[in-house]
Amino acid sequence: MRLDTRTALAGLGLMAGLAAPASADFTLTILHNNDGESSVLPTTDLNDPGFGEFSDAARFVTLVDQQKATSVNPIMLSSGDNYLAGPTFNASQAIVAGGGTYLDAILLDRIGYDALAIGNHEFDFGTQVFSDFIDDTTGSYPFLSSNLDFTNVPELQAQVTAGRIAPSTILNVNGEQVGIIGATTEGLASVTSPGATNINAVQPAVQAQVNTLTGMGVNKIILISHLQSILEEQMLANTVTGLDVIVAGGGDELLADPGTPLLPTTDPGDIFGDYPLVESNVPIVTTPGGYGYLGKLVVDFDDAGNLLSVNEADSGLIRVAEIDGIEPDQGVIDSVQQPVIDFLGDAKIIGTTEVTIEVARPRVRGEATNGGALITDAYLALAAEKVDDLGITVPVIAIQNGGGIRDDFGTTEFVYGQQITDQAINEILPFDNEVVIVESFTAERLLLLLEEAVDSVPNASGGFAQVGGFWFTFDPEADPDSRVVDVYLNDGTQLVDNGVAIDPSFEMALVTNSFSASQNGDGYPLNDLPRTTILETMDGINGYAGAVIKYIQEDLGGVVPADLYDPAVTSQRIQEVPEPASLVLLGLGGAMLVRRGA
C-alpha cells in the first residue's frame, strides 16, 4: 500500500521521521544494487592512491554479509543488468567452453539475492546464453519482468515453467509476505537482442501484477525495474496504484544525502537527488552501476500494510571501499576475480597517449569526446583501405553509438603517458560487434539518425552518436525530432541547413558497428540498407575494438597525439547552438559557422 500521508512531508518531498513510529508493526530492510555489469575487479584512483581499493565484487560481498547480519528483516534485490560483455564475460566464455560456470553466476549466488529484475544486457549474447546463465546459478531466486512474454522463446519459456523467470514473486520475510514485481524497458529491442521476446507496455503489466498480489492478500509490494532512466520510475509512481517502494535500475543515477561518503571517482555534482526520492508518496531508490555502492532502505509498515515511514537514520548509500575497513571476501577473490586477472594477464601493450582519452559513460552519451573521435577515426582509417575494393566512390563518414562504449564507472580512461593495452581497448569496446560499411546512406537518413542521437539530451543516452568525417550543430532546447541545425562534411560540403536536408538524396557510405547497422540499434534507421563487414571479431578481440587497436598501432605509430585529440578540438564535432551565431576554429581543415536561423 501507499505511504500513509499523515507521516509524509509532501511539500518537501521527504519522508518524515528518523525512527520508526510507535505504531509500526513491521520493519523491512531493502538492500539493493543495479547494473553490476560484470565489474568485479577492484579499482584505484590514480589521483588519490592513498584511498586504496574500491568498487570490487569481493568487498561488495563482505559489505552485503555485514548488512544482512546487522539489519532488521533484510532482503537483497537487483534491478537488472547482472552481467555485461567485457573481460569478466570473456573469461567466463572460455571457462564455460571447458565445462565451467559463468563467473557472474557464481557471484550472484554468493551475494545471495532474493530476486533480480531482468535488464537489457541479459540479452546481449542472445536468449540461449541468458537461459544458460540462469542454469549456472544454483540458487532458487527468480529473474523478474512483468512486461516480457517469452512464449515464442522456448529456452526462456522453459525457465518460466521452472519458476526461474516470473512476472513477480512473494517473499516470506519473518512471517510477512512481501511482493516483488519486475519490469524491463519497453525499448529493449532497440538496445539489445531479445529475439522473439514479446515486449509489452510497462504500466499496465505492473498494475496487473499489483492487482494480482493484492488479491492474494499481499499488502507490501516492491517494484524492481530496469527502465534506463529514473524519470520512468517517477512516472510509474504517479500512474500505478498500490506500490510501496520502487528500486530502479539502468539509469546510473546517484542518489545521496548531504554528507554521504562517496568514492573518489564520483563527482558530487552528479548527485541526482536525495536518497530516497519520493514521488506520489512512493520512495524510489537506485545506485550507480558496478559494485561500488550498496543501497539500504529501511521502511516501516503498520499491520494493514500501510507504509508509515522511511528510517532515514539507517537508510542511505554505502560505498564499497578499503578505506572504510571493508575487507575483500577471499572466496570471491579465488572463484571470481582471479580467473579474470589470469585472463587479463595476456594483455599486449599497443601504444601510449599524449592526452587523457575520455570514454566515461556520462560524457560519451551526451557530448563529443576525444575517445569517441578516436574510435570513429579508426573506422574511417579502416574504411579507407577497403573502399576501392568495394567500388565506393562517395564520401565516407563514421558513427559510434555511445552505448557501445563501456567505461561506465569512469575508471578506464587513459591519462597522459599511460600505456594502452589491447585488453583495455577490448574492455571499453566490449561487445561482439563487427565493423561494417553501410552503403546507399543519404543525407536524409543522416538527418533522421542524428535526430535520434540527440533526442534525449540533456539526459545521457546510449543512442548519442560520436562522429567522424563530419560535424554538426543542434539546439537542445528545440522539440525532439527538430533539434539538428546544420551538418557539414569535413571538406566543407553542407548537408543540412537549419534543420533541412539541402539535397536529401545526397549519397554517402557510413562506417559503424554491426549492432547499429543491423538491428536499428538505438533507433538508427539503417537495417534495410546494404552493408559489408570489413573487420570481424578475431582471437578474442571484438571487431570494433580491433579497428581502434589497428589504428593506434599502424596509423598513429603507437602514440595517440595531443594535437589531433585535444578535447578542445574534438569537442567541436558536435556543438550545441543556443546562440544565434559564432565562428569557431574547428581544427578539421577550416572554420565552422555555428548559428541558429530565425
Same domain, yes or no, for 304 and 362?
A: no
pLDDT at 588: 41
Lowest-pLDDT range, 46-60, 134-148, 397-411? 397-411
pLDDT at 464: 95
pLDDT at 13: 38
What mean pLDDT is predicted for residues 2-13?
Answer: 37
Same domain, yes or no, for 300 and 268?
A: yes
Q: Which residues contact 215 (CB under 8 A, 6 or more apart)?
A: none
- Is the confidence at residue 17, as pLDDT, over 90? no
The stretches of 125-269 forming alpha helices (DSSP H) are 127-136, 154-162, 188-191, 202-215, 230-239
pLDDT at 1: 56
- Is the confidence at residue 549, as pLDDT, over 70? yes
What mean pLDDT is predicted for residues 411-420?
Answer: 68
> Do residues 87 and 426 make contact, with C-beta atoms less than 8 angstroms apart?
yes
pLDDT tens digits along 450-483: 999 999 888 888 899 999 999 999 999 999 999 9
Count of alpha carbons within 13 angstroms of residue 397, beta-carbon side: 27
Query: What pTM value is reported for the model?
Result: 0.81
pLDDT at 456: 85
From 313, 338, 363, the end of a domain falls on 338
pLDDT tens digits along 257-274: 999 999 998 889 889 999
Lowest-pLDDT range, 43-47, 349-353, 525-529, 589-593? 589-593
SS3 512: strand
What mean pLDDT is predicted for residues 414-440?
Answer: 88
> Do residues 364 and 402 make contact, with C-beta atoms less than 8 angstroms apart?
yes
Q: How confident is the model at residue 12 (pLDDT cuts 50, 70, 90)?
A: very low
pLDDT at 169: 99
Same domain, yes or no, for 494 and 439?
A: yes
Same domain, yes or no, for 371 and 480?
A: yes
- Is the confidence at residue 7, as pLDDT, over 90? no
CATH classification at residue 249: 3.60.21.10
pLDDT at 465: 97
pLDDT at 23: 61
Whether the CA torsion 53, 58, 59, 60 is positive or negative: it is positive
What mean pLDDT is predicted for residues 304-312?
Answer: 96
Same domain, yes or no, for 330 and 358?
A: no
Lowest-pLDDT range, 114-123, 316-325, 331-340, 403-412? 403-412
Q: How confident is the model at residue 416 (pLDDT cuts 50, 70, 90)?
A: low
- Is the confidence at residue 409, as pLDDT, over 70? no
pLDDT at 5: 35
Structural domain count of the chain:
2
- Is the confidence at residue 361, as pLDDT, over 90? no
Percent of residues, the chain, with pLDDT higher than 70? 91
Same domain, yes or no, for 319 and 426?
A: no
pLDDT at 46: 67
What mean pLDDT is predicted for residues 290-308?
Answer: 97
129 compared with 596, residue with greater pLDDT: 129
552 compared with 412, residue with greater pLDDT: 552
pLDDT at 6: 30
526 compared with 417, residue with greater pLDDT: 526
Same domain, yes or no, for 306 and 440?
A: no
> Do residues 210 and 240 make contact, with C-beta atoms less than 8 angstroms apart?
yes
Same domain, yes or no, for 325 and 386?
A: no
Same domain, yes or no, for 279 and 133?
A: yes
Same domain, yes or no, for 329 and 359?
A: no
Same domain, yes or no, for 466 and 422?
A: yes
The whole-chain average pLDDT of the chain stands at 90
> Do residues 10 and 281 make contact, with C-beta atoms less than 8 angstroms apart?
yes
What mean pLDDT is predicted for residues 532-558?
Answer: 93
Cell for 473? 550543430
pLDDT at 592: 35
Place of cell 563482505: 62
pLDDT tens digits along 581-590: 343 434 443 3
For residue 368, the 8-state DSSP code is -
Cell for 539? 582471437
- Which phi-psi region, left, alpha or beta, contains residue 325 (left: φ > 0; alpha: ψ -120 to 50)? left
Q: Which residues contact 512 (CB under 8 A, 6 or more apart)?
A: 379, 398, 399, 400, 401, 435, 436, 438, 524, 526
pLDDT at 521: 75
9 compared with 420, residue with greater pLDDT: 420
pLDDT at 256: 98
Percent of residues, the chain, with pLDDT higher than 90? 79
Q: Which domain holds residue 165?
A: 5-338
List the beta strands (DSSP E) in 145-285. 148-149, 165-166, 168-173, 176-184, 198-199, 221-226, 245-249, 254-255, 271-273, 277-279, 282-285
pLDDT tens digits along 117-129: 999 999 999 999 9
Same domain, yes or no, for 270 and 356?
A: no
Q: In angstroms, rounded to a whole number, what is the distance separating the alpha carbons of residues 314 and 71?
A: 9
> Do residues 71 and 77 make contact, with C-beta atoms less than 8 angstroms apart?
no
pLDDT at 412: 53
* CA proximity to 489, closest of 397, 569, 572, 401: 397
Q: How confident is the model at residue 597 (pLDDT cuts 50, 70, 90)?
A: very low
From 316, 338, 360, the end of a domain falls on 338
Q: How confident is the model at residue 539 (pLDDT cuts 50, 70, 90)?
A: confident
For residue 83, the 8-state DSSP code is -
From 310, 338, 366, the end of a domain falls on 338
